[in-house]
Structure 1
Amino acid sequence: MEHISAELLSAVVTVVGGLGVSGLTRAWILHRTRLQLARERSARAAARAAGLTQLAGRPGSVRIDERDEDGHRVVELHGPGRAAAGEAA
């Protein structure tokens, strides 16, 4: 009987140890995924800002309708020397 309980204890320790290692591995993968998503969002925001800066420098006006995971935005850019309808004073 003592031999069976030692084998059972060994199996339980192995299973619990395996679950602990798999939990740590899963947490590490989730952490790395969150970091990668943050880097991609940052790069997208920088590219968007650079593109909007170029569009704002052009004459005329540009209307951008933008949807992403943050929501929905409508951006209107007016070129140099033009004011929006509500900005004229």
Structure 2
Amino acid sequence: MEHISGELLSAAVAVVGGLGLSGLVRAWIRHRTRLQVERERSARAVARATGLARIARRHETVLIDEKDQDGHRVVEMRGPAGGSRKEAA
């Protein structure tokens, strides 16, 4: 009977150890995925800002309607000639 109990104990330890290891692997994968998503968002934000700056330089006034995970925004960008003469004086 002790032989069976020892085998069951070692099997239980192996199962619990395997579950713990798989939990650690899943947590590591989630962490790496989260980092990659943040890098992508950052790169997209830089590309978007660069593109918007180029658009604003070419036109007098640009109205941008943005919807993303952060919410909804309406942004008005005025180019170099966007201000009135009264504002400049």
| TM-score over 0.5 (shorter chain) | yes
The ranges of structure 1 where at least 4 consecutive aligned residues each deviate by more than 3 angstroms after the TM superposition are none
Matches within 5 A, 1:1-89: 1-83=1-83, 88=87
Matched-pair contact (CA < 8 Å) for 1:62–1:78: yes
Q: Distance in 2 between matches of 1:25 and 1:33?
A: 12
Q: Count residues in correspondence.
A: 87
Identity score, percent:
69
Unaligned runs of at least 5 residues, structure 2: none
- The 1-side partners of 2:23 and 2:59 are apart by 56
CA RMSD for the aligned pairs? 1.7
> TM-score w.r.t. structure 2 length?
0.88
**Residue segments in structure 1 that go unaligned for 5+ positions in a row:** none
CA separation in 2, counterparts of 1:23 and 1:82? Answer: 56
Q: Which has the higher helix share?
A: 2
The worse-fitting range, judged by mean Cα deviation, of 73-82 and 35-44 is 73-82
